Amino acid sequence: MNWNFTDILIPPGESLVASGPVIAEIGFGNGEYLEHLARTRPDCSVVGIEISQWCVTKAARRALSAGFRNVRLIHGDARDLLRYAFEPRSLSEAYMNFPCPWPKRRHTERRVASPRFAALIGGRLAPGGTFTLATDVEWYAEQTRDAFLSSGSFSAGPVERNPERDYVTKYERKWREMGRETFVTRAVKTAEVSEPDTGKEGEEALETTANPGIAQLSLSDRLRPILGECIRKDGYVVIFKELFASGDDAALISVISVDEGFEQHYYVKVVLSGSRWLGKLDSIGHPYRTPGVRASMRAMSRIAGIEF
Ligand SMILES: C[S@@+](CC[C@H](N)C(=O)[O-])C[C@H]1O[C@@H](n2cnc3c(N)ncnc32)[C@H](O)[C@@H]1O
């Protein structure tokens, strides 16, 4: 069978466009719970975020075989994608089932549930929206509850031990057969707490007034001074890597930006239109418009007079 994943995968750089409620599942594994959500909540768009390419492929096949129209998948780290691929207050519910607890102290950074994660979910959930974590690790459930409570956005009852579950996945069934317990933390968003700049809110205007001395320069001569330029600000770093010019009326410049550890490699395409040089983020490696990406566009406007 030929699988057409284009209907189900949200490509990098793009956000979900949905009219009704949106439910997110973080780290969906083989997609079993995602399938349950899609089946039982046909009025909702269900979006899965998963870091493993293999799991994304398996879940995509599962959803396509079942003919679901309300499932979309995003491949990558939920800690970055929640920030950049979702609009503020766009989620009605978020679920995370049996994440790896990363118990060793030196692995703490790999843990998904953290105070930063609680703040992120707080920004993406609509008022009254819920976050539900199921885990077989009691301390993880307690720590997650504490992180959500201390974010200031959530209320949460006590962690529940072996509560009635709406659906039990193969993974959970296996744990239960081994005599392990399930702990559930459920948090309800009760207040809005402002987040640091996420690249979604308050787009800054891009400067377009460049150094007037460059007006007579060829495209390559305009762009060359940008190469090797490194912009370092709180929260992001941007490096301009290479210039590929074709004749003197079109060019691509490759850029790397890293926003709080979220690395993106992309190209900015520059073309001549009448007497203006127009820049556009190229569709190859199409990036999310993070603060770093927007800074790269501003630098190109300032240094080379490119308009975006
Ligand atoms: C132990 S499995 C649980 C899978 C599934 N939720 C279940 O209950 O059967 C944890 C899943 O989370 C995914 N994962 C781990 N870290 C992630 C991250 N930062 N962003 C998205 N997915 C992640 C893993 O690839 C894996 O599929």
Residue to substitute in 10, 25, 26 for testing ligand 1 pocket (most ligand atoms within 8 angstroms of CB): 26
CA dihedral 269, 270, 271, 275 (to 10 degrees): 160
Looking at the predicted structure, is the pLDDT value of residue 203 above 70? no
- At 32-65, the pLDDT tens digits run 999 999 999 999 999 999 999 999 999 999 999 9
- At 237-293, the pLDDT tens digits run 999 999 998 777 899 999 999 998 899 999 999 998 888 899 999 888 789 999 999
Report the sign of the C-alpha dihedral through residues 300, 301, 305, 306, in that order.
Answer: positive
How many angstroms does the Cα of residue 99 sit away from the middle of ligand 1? 5
Atom of ligand 1 nearest to the CA of 79: 19
Share of the chain above pLDDT 90, in %: 67
Q: Report pLDDT for 12.
A: 84
Atom of ligand 1 nearest to the CA of 171: 9
Predicted structure pTM score: 0.81
CA of residue 74 relative to chain centroid, distance: 8
Residue to substitute in 25, 32, 50 for testing ligand 1 pocket (most ligand atoms within 8 angstroms of CB): 50
Q: Is the CB of 27 under 6 A from ligand 1?
A: yes
Average pLDDT over residues 100-111: 82
Share of the chain above pLDDT 70, in %: 93
Map out the domains of the chain with their CATH numbers.
5-189 (3.40.50.150), 212-304 (3.10.450)
Q: Report pLDDT for 19.
A: 84
Looking at the predicted structure, is the pLDDT value of residue 204 above 70? no
Q: Report pLDDT for 1.
A: 63
Report the sign of the C-alpha dihedral through residues 78, 79, 84, 86, in that order.
Answer: positive
Q: Report pLDDT for 5.
A: 85
How many angstroms does the Cα of residue 41 sit away from the middle of ligand 1? 22
Beta carbons of 256 and 238 less than 8 angstroms apart: yes
Minimum CA distance residue for ligand 1 atom 25: 52
Average pLDDT over residues 201-205: 45
- At 158-184, the pLDDT tens digits run 999 999 999 999 889 988 899 999 999
Average pLDDT over residues 125-139: 96
Q: Report pLDDT for 186.
A: 98
Residue to substitute in 112, 167, 260 for testing ligand 1 pocket (most ligand atoms within 8 angstroms of CB): 112
